[in-house]
């Protein structure tokens, strides 16, 4: 990174970063955050950037929410960390609050990250079913550790040797880019499970899925798909694990994304949104599965399991989301934002599709027509980079060789004026890129 591209930092800072920071996926953006508040992040010079990804898709209450700051301060002054076998009131309170929201899944374990929680969920499924084959979507992202990485197909599979034995993938339903002519998700799902049955050794344990595949390009499971998927799991003695890292706690317009389909998973994984930006995740399951775990000696003993400080934060997050009606707010503001994105689509031919639910939306770029011939990937990168220069932080994920999808997920506390500002900045970025 040369000095001409730097923002919010100086040459000495970037030289030190280049010397010491290990690259872990993609390039660091040319912005050095010094503080954040609400929907904005600021550098040391006071330049602000509108955060349209809620940090790492997590800060659903915005940055430095005063009640979260107060909760953190009080928790740190009383109980921060305990021996892993020692329980505390905040931990049990949070487990009870989560069980109230999903009564069918009253058994709860609190952990730190989504990858860690998915790891635990996969181990539970293997132990309880006696199987060891795990199925996911070919566009999935569930984490970077062991079993979670083996169930992640979006990226990161090459160069590390074999993944866990019994790892299978099926295509996620994508109406914008269907795999076959006369496509239907029902036929695709039937065909995928027919192939799965032919490859399985008869030891299927679980299917792990996101209701909306975020890193996969904001691919939303069509209405009816989740029920059909759970039925196929039940037919084979598999458990259904839903990874609601990004979709839970109001993000999609309901408290949990699965509520739209009236389908409760066997195991529910929460992370990202549960801590509103702090490291907190949860695994939720039924009494029957919890009993089997205890009977069979389930082991997932970690340093920060059921820590009180993040539990106190999670409890406050649930209180605020419910008290302030943030799920309904996400539905209403999401409709406004989606309408604005569709309006941008009508003005810019580089936008092929707008999709998603609530305040988790995707904008898919397409290749330019003959003449300029810039690919969707080049266009999406250029728009993202220029938007940051203008003061908007958005995020591009790759949707295969066909191009890029911009993920748009502002905090649930975002103001209407901030949505309008984000749309204006995005429009200006597209105008500038398409002008060249």
Instruction: Taking the CA atoms of 36, 37, 38 and 43 in sequence, report the sign of the dihedral they define.
Output: negative
Q: Residue 281 is encoded by which pair of tokens?
A: 């995740």
Q: Residue 156 is encoded by which pair of tokens?
A: 């990161």
Q: What is the dihedral of CA 188, 192, 198, 202, to 10 degrees?
A: -130
Query: In 6-105, which residue ranges form alpha helices assigned H by DSSP?
Result: 11-20, 54-57, 66-78, 89-101
Instruction: Taking the CA atoms of 326, 332, 337 and 341 in sequence, report the sign of the dihedral they define.
Output: positive
Closest to 143 in 3D by CA, of 125, 155, 127, 126: 155
Out of 132, 244, 246, 398, pick the active-site residue.
246
- 254: helix, strand or coil: coil
Output DSSP code: residue 29: P
Give Dmax (Cα) for the chain: 66
338 has catalytic annotation: no
Output DSSP code: residue 223: T
185 has catalytic annotation: no
How far is C-alpha 220 from the geometric centre of its chain's CA atoms? 12
272 has catalytic annotation: yes
Out of 133, 210, 244, 261, pick the active-site residue.
210
Q: How far apart are the first and last CA of the chain?
A: 23
Burial class (CB in 10 A: 0-12, 13-18, 19+), 201: exposed
Q: Measure Cα distances from 152 to 102, 158, 189, 238 in Å.
A: 26, 12, 19, 18
389 has catalytic annotation: no
Q: What angle do CA 258, 115, 189 make, to 5 degrees?
A: 45
Burial class (CB in 10 A: 0-12, 13-18, 19+), 43: middle
Out of 272, 338, 355, 398, pick the active-site residue.
272
232 has catalytic annotation: no
Out of 133, 141, 266, 338, pick the active-site residue.
141
Out of 243, 261, 266, 364, pick the active-site residue.
243
Is residue 71 within 8 A of residue 59, CB to CB? The reply is no
Out of 230, 357, 398, 407, pick the active-site residue.
407
- Using left for φ > 0, alpha for ψ between -120 and 50, and beta otherwise, residue 281 falls in beta
Rounded CA gap, 180 and 193, in Å? Answer: 16
For the chain, helix (H) and strand (E) counts, in that order, are 13, 17
Catalytic machinery residues: 141, 210, 243, 246, 272, 407
């Amino acid at each position: 990174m040369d000095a001409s591209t730097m923002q919010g930092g100086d040459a000495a800072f970037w030289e030190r970063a280049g010397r010491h920071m290990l690259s872990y996926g993609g390039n660091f953006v040319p912005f050095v955050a010094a503080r954040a508040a609400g929907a904005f992040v600021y550098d040391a010079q006071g330049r602000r950037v509108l955060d349209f990804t809620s940090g790492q898709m997590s800060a659903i209450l915005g940055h430095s929410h005063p009640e979260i700051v107060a909760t953190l301060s009080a928790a740190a002054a009383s109980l921060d960390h305990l021996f892993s076998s020692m329980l505390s009131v905040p931990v049990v309170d949070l487990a009870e609050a989560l069980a109230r929201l999903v009564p069918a899944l009253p058994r709860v374990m609190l952990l730190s990250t989504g990858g860690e929680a998915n790891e635990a969920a996969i181990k539970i499924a293997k132990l309880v079913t006696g199987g060891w084959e795990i199925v996911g979507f070919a566009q999935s992202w569930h984490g970077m550790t062991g079993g979670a990485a083996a169930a992640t197909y979006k990226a990161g599979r090459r160069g590390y040797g074999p993944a866990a034995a019994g790892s299978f993938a099926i295509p996620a339903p994508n109406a914008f880019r269907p795999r076959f002519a006369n496509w239907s998700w029902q036929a695709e799902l039937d065909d995928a499970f027919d192939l799965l049955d032919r490859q399985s050794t008869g030891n299927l344990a679980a299917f792990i899925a996101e209701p909306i595949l975020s890193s996969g390009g904001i691919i939303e499971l069509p209405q009816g798909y989740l029920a059909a998927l759970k039925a196929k799991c039940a037919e084979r003695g598999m458990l259904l694990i839903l990874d609601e890292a990004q979709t839970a706690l109001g993000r999609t317009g309901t408290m949990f994304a699965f509520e739209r389909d009236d389908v409760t998973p066997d195991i529910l994984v929460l992370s990202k949104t549960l801590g509103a930006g702090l490291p907190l995740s949860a695994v939720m399951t039924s009494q029957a599965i919890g009993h089997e775990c205890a009977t069979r000696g389930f082991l997932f003993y970690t340093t920060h399991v059921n820590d009180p400080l993040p539990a106190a934060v999670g409890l406050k997050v649930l209180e605020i989301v419910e008290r302030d009606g943030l799920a309904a707010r996400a539905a209403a503001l999401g409709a406004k934002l989606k309408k604005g994105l569709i309006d941008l689509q009508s003005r810019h031919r580089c936008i092929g599709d707008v999709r998603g639910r609530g305040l988790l939306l995707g904008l898919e770029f397409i290749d330019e027509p003959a003449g300029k011939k810039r690919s969707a990937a080049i266009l999406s990168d250029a728009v993202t980079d220029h938007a940051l220069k203008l003061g908007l932080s958005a995020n591009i994920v790759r949707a295969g060789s066909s191009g890029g999808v911009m993920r748009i997920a502002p905090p649930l506390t975002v103001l209407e004026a901030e949505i309008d500002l984000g749309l204006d900045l995005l429009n200006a970025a597209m105008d500038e890129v398409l002008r060249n």
